[in-house]
Amino acid sequence: MSVTQEQAFSPANPDSAAIKVAAHDVSVFYGEKRALDGIDLDIRVNEVTALIGPSGCGKSTFLRSLNRMNDLIEGCRVTGNITLDGQDIYDVELDPVQLRARVGMVFQKPNPFPKSIFDNVAYGPRIHGLAEGGDALEEIVVGSLERAGLWSEVKDRLKEPGTGLSGGQQQRLCIARAIAVAPEVILMDEPCSALDPIATARIEELIDELRQNFTIVIVTHSMQQAARVSQRTAFFHLGDLVEIGGTEQIFTNPKQKLTQGYITGRFG
């Protein structure tokens, strides 16, 4: 029951936002099992797009297909077309490592490297050759920690292990690590599900600030979080994109009964 963008969402001014990532007729298979079925979904630049839906609906699969993380899963096959600024990200000549520098990812559970706070953030710029000399690298690290809202908390302990931080700080460290390589898109897979409400609020505030410079796609099980942080919301169910629309519209007056059933708790 896939719907097209045109069927699902008619913004007042459809040209108002440029498309950063465009997915057209995307299906994903794990072996014989089809996890996503012909998804058409555009991600707009400098907006937060939330993907919601029950477990197993395909939202994380779709997220992972946006930076080819699915390539790492044996037996996974992606059909259809996904472009980043018009460039096919599944082009055989495109280096997935370079793609993942442009499309960064933050995971459900904070996963800092077993290194110092400084080195966690410096790792990406080093391997991608983004900094010439120590000063430039330090500038990137400090800038990334500042943008992740962590600098004031860690500036005096940069040599301490990242794993020694609290859960919320670790997740912000992972965000700093992601933005240190100057990505264009940040994918977030339930980034607050392991955090307490205060740490969650800090991350949500950060997401809102980051969207000024980045395009963000977030998978979340928290409907309230989707409502708070995103400008557009897409509802997935059983591998289909049921509805995508402005977040305000989805949470006040969804067009599809299935969406209404899910967000209001009358489902299944």
Partner 1 sequence: MPHIVSSFDQKIARLEGTIERMGVLAASQLDRALDALERNDVDLARAIPPDDAEIDALHAQLDEQVILFLALRAPVAVDLRTAITALRIGGELERIADHARSIAKRVLALQDTPAHPPVQPLVRMGRTVHQLVVGVMEADKMRAPERALEIWHQDQAIDTQYSGAFRELLTYMMEDTRLLAACSHMVFLAKDIERIGDHATNIGEMVYYRETGQTLGMARPKADTTAFPPEPVD
- Could you list the residues that contact partner 1 (CB under 8 A)? 223-224, 227, 251-254, 260-261, 263-268
Nearer Cβ to partner 1, position 51 or 158?
51
Gap between the Cα atoms of 226 and 99, Å rounded: 26
Judged by beta carbon, residue 178 or residue 263, the one nearer partner 1 is 263
∠ CA 213-217-219, nearest 5°, is 145
Distances (CA, A) of 176 to 24, 47, 123, 169, 179: 31, 19, 11, 10, 5
The least CB distance from residue 233 to partner 1, in Å, is 11
Comparing CB distances to partner 1, the nearer of 154 and 229 is: 229
Taking the complex as a whole, the smallest distance from the CB of residue 227 to partner 1 amounts, in Å, to 7
For residue 238, what is the DSSP state? T
Nearer to partner 1 (CB atom), residue 163 or residue 260: 260
What's the min distance (Å) between Cβ of 9 and partner 1? Answer: 15
Give the residue with the Cβ less far from partner 1, 81 or 260: 260
- Smallest distance, Å, CB 243 to partner 1? 12
Which residues lie below 8 Å from residue 234, measured CB to CB, with a gap of 6+? 41, 49, 50, 51, 52, 59, 241, 243, 244
**8 A C-beta contact, residue 105 and residue 181:** no
In the bound state with partner 1, the residue whose beta carbon lies nearer, of 159 and 266, is: 266
Nearest-approach distance from CB 250 to partner 1, in angstroms? 8
Question: Of 47, 22, 33, 39, which is closest to residue 211 (Cα–Cα)?
Answer: 47
Shortest Cβ distance from residue 215 to partner 1 (Å)? 25
Closest by Cα among 107, 119, 30 to 71: 30
Give the integer Cα–Cα distance in Å for 157 and 118.
Answer: 9
